Amino acid sequence: MELTADDARKSQDPICALPGRYYTDPDLYELEKDKIFAKTWQFAGHISQLSRKGAYFSFRIADEELFCVRGKDEEIRAFYNVCQHRAHQVVQGEGVARLLVCPYHAWSYELDGRLKKAPNDDKVPGFDRSKICLTEVRVEEFNGFIFVNLDPDAKPMDDWYPGAREELRAYVPNIDDLAPALWTHAEEDCNWKVSVENYSECYHCKLNHPTFATGVVKPETYNIMPQGHCLRHTTVSANLDRMTYPIDPNANEHAGDYGSWFLWPTISFQVYPGNVLNTYHWEPTGVDTVTAWRGWHTPHGDALDHITQLAQQDYDTTVVEDIRLVNSVQKGLKSRGYVPGPLVLDPEFGVNSEHSIRAIHDWVRKAMG
Ligand code: FES
Ligand SMILES: [Fe+2]
């Protein structure tokens, strides 16, 4: 088929950012709960929280309350945190239990979700305990991190994020010994996608993160490329001798390297030189609010001075600098005067390209139909 002049002109049109309403419209946010949060792999917690049979912890995805528990058979399962009687939450916080007992009327469930007993149920004709079970959701372990997917037909994580599991393991050879040692969080007044997009491009870094150009990354080599539904950040690292903690770059293959794997839609694993693993995850709390969590992981979750220092330094610089940016963007997205601009897509990729933003916008558009 011959291209018309109009087709040719259209093919030259730059790709524009998403319209503001994707970030501000409460109805679209409600729709995202179905189309995005209930269909993607979501971070739940860490395996160290389930070290014994009967250990459980609760968590939330958008508005859904859920919990994970280790069964008597050692299996890790995840359930909606809702009693099948009259909908009270079954567990609160975290703990260890032999049975899961709902605090409202004491219906008790086995650790695999089956109803064991409801007080006075033997008086009810036709009450069949074997037909009642907590509603289970898909669960996967990813290098010690527990993920759930509310979609029973979801493809496994390795299909969504090809290669990420093995690459991360190569960058953090002791990942099986790690546990969360420290969490920091920032309450941001923006839609979750504003914060995720801000994390996923470094076009803004030179101007807004003064430590960036002099820190561990070599900006001219920074790149972010889609890899399935993963955004893979790479850079040559520099100034290892000026790090605030000692590094032996020859200790293992990636001891001197920086890497990051953002797993769409709401978590990223980041590795600093010295195989230091830290995570970002975003917990949307409304259409225009999100909690951005940073997790720092050490062997057995031990408190280490240099990690505490690093977390504080990270918070005082990058985190604080980014909060100002994302809060301002959210205000702008609400403005009648905002006309979405073209994305800067450099055919050669690199630090000043927004290919990663294009990927995110494609995933959003596709999910939302
Ligand atoms: S709602 Fe749980 S026992 Fe009644
Ligand atoms: Fe930033």
| 161-212 pLDDT, tens digit each | 999 999 999 999 999 999 999 999 999 999 999 999 999 999 999 999 987 7
Mutate to test the pocket of ligand 1, among 79, 82, 85 (most ligand atoms within 8 A of CB): 85
Ligand 1, atom 1, residue with closest C-alpha: 86
Neighbours of ion ligand 2 (CB under 5 A): 322
Mutate to test the pocket of ligand 1, among 79, 82, 83 (most ligand atoms within 8 A of CB): 83
* Residues forming CATH 2.102.10.10 domain(s) in the chain: 42-149
Nearest to 184 by CA among 259, 293, 69: 293
Q: What are the DSSP calls for 311-342, one per residue?
A: HHHHIIIIIHHHHHHHHHHHHHHT-TT--PPB
* Residues forming CATH 3.90.380.10 domain(s) in the chain: 161-368
Which one of 3.40.50.300, 3.40.50.720, 2.102.10.10, 2.60.40.10 gives the CATH number of domain 42-149? 2.102.10.10
Q: What is the pLDDT of residue 2?
A: 46
142: β partners: 145
Q: What is the pLDDT of residue 9?
A: 47
The burial of 148, by beta-carbon neighbours within 10 Å (0-12 exposed, 13-18 middle, 19 or more buried), is given as buried
Atom of ligand 1 nearest to the CA of 87: 1
Residue 258: φ, ψ to 5°:
-110, 140
**Strand-pair category, 55-61 with 94-96:** antiparallel
Atom of ligand 1 nearest to the CA of 107: 3
Tell me if 103 CB under 6 Å of ligand 1. Answer: no
Q: Taking the model in full, what pTM does it have?
A: 0.94
Flag residues of the chain having pLDDT under 50.
1-3, 5, 8-9
Atom of ligand 1 nearest to the CA of 88: 1
Question: CATH fold of 161-368, please?
Answer: Naphthalene 1,2-dioxygenase Alpha Subunit; Chain A, domain 1 (3.90.380)
Say how many Å lie between the CA of residue 89 and the centre of ligand 1: 8
Ligand 1, atom 4, residue with closest C-alpha: 105
List the beta strands (DSSP E) in 222-352: 223-227, 230-235, 258-263, 267-272, 276-286, 289-299
Say how many Å lie between the CA of residue 203 and the centre of ligand 2: 9
The single-letter code of the amino acid at 234 is T
Mutate to test the pocket of ligand 1, among 79, 84, 88, 108 (most ligand atoms within 8 A of CB): 88
Q: What is the pLDDT of residue 10?
A: 54
Ligand 1, atom 3, residue with closest C-alpha: 105
